[in-house]
Amino acid sequence: MQSKLWTAILAAACLITSAQGAPAQQSDVSMSNATGSVDGVLKDPSGAVIAGARVELRSTDTNFHQTRISDHLGHFSFISVPAGAYELTITASGFAGQVLGPLSVAAGAELTEDLPLKIAVEVATVEVEGQDVSSIAASSLKVQASDASQSHNSADMLADVPGVSLHGNGELATIPFLHGLGDERTKIVVDGMTVSSACPNHMNPTLSYVAPAQAAQVTVLAGITPVSLGGDSLGGTISVETPAPAFAEPGSGLHESGVFTGFYRSNGTNWGGSLSEAIATEHLSLGYVGAFTTTDDYTDGAGRKITSTYAQSTDHALTLVGQYGRNFFAATGSFHHVPFEGFVNAFMDLTHNNATSLNLRYRRTFNAGSLDAHFYWQNTLHEMNFLSDKVAVDGMGADMPMNTHGRDLGYLVRYEVGLSARHTFRAGNELHRFRLDDWWPPVPGMAPMMGPNTFININNGRRTRLGTYAEFFTHWNSHWSTLLGARNDTVWSNAGDVQGYSSMYAADAAAFNAENHSRTDVNFDLTALARYDASAHAAFEFGYARKNRSPNLYERYTWSTNMMAASMIGWFGDGNMYYGNVALKPETGNVISGTLLLHAQASRPWEIKLTPHLNFIQNYIDVDVASMSMMGMGTPLLRFANHDARIGGGELSGFATLWSNDSAGTGRLSVSGAWLHGTRTDSNTPLYQMMPLNLRLAFDEEAKGFSGGVGAEMVDSKSRLDPNRMELRTPGYALLNLHAAYQTKHLQGGFRMDNLADRLYELPLGGNNIDIYSATGMMTPVTGRGRSASINLTAMF
Which residues of this chain interact with Cu ion, rule CB under 5 A? 199, 201, 203, 384
Q: In whole angstroms, how close is the CB of 727 to Cu ion at the nearest point?
A: 23
Q: In whole angstroms, how close is the CB of 312 to Cu ion at the nearest point?
A: 16
**DSSP category for residue 52:** T
Nearer to Cu ion, 43 or 382 (CB): 382
Instruction: Tell me the one-letter amino acid at 333.
Output: G
Nearer to Cu ion, 123 or 203 (CB): 203
Hey, what's the torsion of the CAs at 491, 496, 499, 505, to 10 degrees? 40
Count the Cβ atoms, other than its own, within 10 Å of residue 583.
Answer: 12
What is the spatial distance between Cα 344 and Cα 307, in angstroms, rounded to a whole number? 6
What is the spatial distance between Cα 651 and Cα 179, in angstroms, rounded to a whole number? 9
Q: Is 1 exposed, middle or buried (0-12, 13-18, 19+ CB in 10 A)?
A: exposed
Q: In whole angstroms, how close is the CB of 351 to Cu ion at the nearest point?
A: 9
Q: In whole angstroms, how close is the CB of 587 to Cu ion at the nearest point?
A: 24
CA-wise closest residue to 761 among 734, 741, 795: 734
The radius of gyration of the chain from alpha carbons, rounded to an integer in Å, stands at 27
Nearer to Cu ion, 64 or 434 (CB): 434
- Which H/E stretch holds residue 388? helix 388-394
Nearer to Cu ion, 78 or 440 (CB): 440
From edge to edge, which strands make up the β-sheet containing 84-91?
65-69, 54-59, 84-91, 98-105
Nearer to Cu ion, 14 or 199 (CB): 199
**Direct distance between the N- and C-terminal alpha carbons of the chain, in angstroms, rounded to an integer:** 30
Pair 429, 467: CB distance under 8 Å: yes
CA-wise closest residue to 211 among 286, 277, 129, 273: 273
Nearer to Cu ion, 203 or 436 (CB): 203
What is the spatial distance between Cα 132 and Cα 219, in angstroms, rounded to a whole number? 10
Nearer to Cu ion, 50 or 384 (CB): 384
Q: In whole angstroms, how close is the CB of 197 to Cu ion at the nearest point?
A: 9
Nearer to Cu ion, 84 or 342 (CB): 342
CA-wise closest residue to 316 among 341, 331, 333, 339: 333
What is the spatial distance between Cα 101 and Cα 252, in angstroms, rounded to a whole number? 31
Pair 117, 57: CB distance under 8 Å: no
Nearest residue to Cu ion, using CB?
Answer: 199
Q: In whole angstroms, how close is the CB of 557 to Cu ion at the nearest point?
A: 16
Q: In whole angstroms, how close is the CB of 688 to Cu ion at the nearest point?
A: 21
Nearer to Cu ion, 128 or 566 (CB): 566
Count the Cβ atoms, other than its own, within 10 Å of residue 740.
Answer: 15
Determine the distance from the C-alpha atom of residue 509 to the mean position of all C-alpha atoms in its chain, rounded to a whole number.
38
- Which H/E stretch holds residue 696? strand 694-703
CA-wise closest residue to 225 among 641, 565, 543: 543
96 Cβ neighbours under 8 A, 6+ residues apart: 119, 120, 122
Q: In whole angstroms, how close is the CB of 344 to Cu ion at the nearest point?
A: 14
What are the angstrom distances between the C-alpha of 297 and each of 215, 312, 526, 573, 574? 26, 11, 46, 18, 20
Q: In whole angstroms, how close is the CB of 169 to Cu ion at the nearest point?
A: 11
Nearer to Cu ion, 88 or 203 (CB): 203
Count the Cβ atoms, other than its own, within 10 Å of residue 267.
Answer: 20
Q: In whole angstroms, how close is the CB of 384 to Cu ion at the nearest point?
A: 4
What is the spatial distance between Cα 160 and Cα 146, in angstroms, rounded to a whole number? 15
Q: In whole angstroms, how close is the CB of 348 to Cu ion at the nearest point?
A: 6
Nearer to Cu ion, 38 or 456 (CB): 456
Nearer to Cu ion, 123 or 384 (CB): 384
Nearer to Cu ion, 43 or 202 (CB): 202
What is the spatial distance between Cα 307 and Cα 782, in angstroms, rounded to a whole number? 10
Q: In whole angstroms, how close is the CB of 728 to Cu ion at the nearest point?
A: 23
Q: In whole angstroms, how close is the CB of 410 to Cu ion at the nearest point?
A: 22
CA-wise closest residue to 739 among 714, 718, 762, 711: 711
Q: In whole angstroms, how close is the CB of 549 to Cu ion at the nearest point?
A: 21
Give 391-398's long-range contacts (Cβ < 8 A, gap of 24+): 392/307, 393/307, 393/771, 393/774, 393/775, 394/774
Q: In whole angstroms, how close is the CB of 572 to Cu ion at the nearest point?
A: 14
Nearer to Cu ion, 199 or 495 (CB): 199
Pair type for strands 788-796 and 255-265? antiparallel
Go through the chain and tell me how many residues it has: 797
Q: In whole angstroms, how close is the CB of 200 to Cu ion at the nearest point?
A: 6
Count the Cβ atoms, other than its own, within 10 Å of residue 635.
Answer: 20
Nearer to Cu ion, 384 or 545 (CB): 384
- Which H/E stretch holds residue 391? helix 388-394
Nearer to Cu ion, 201 or 424 (CB): 201
**Got the DSSP string for 415-455?**
EEEE-SSSEEEEEEEEEEEEEEEEEE---TT-TTTS-SSPE
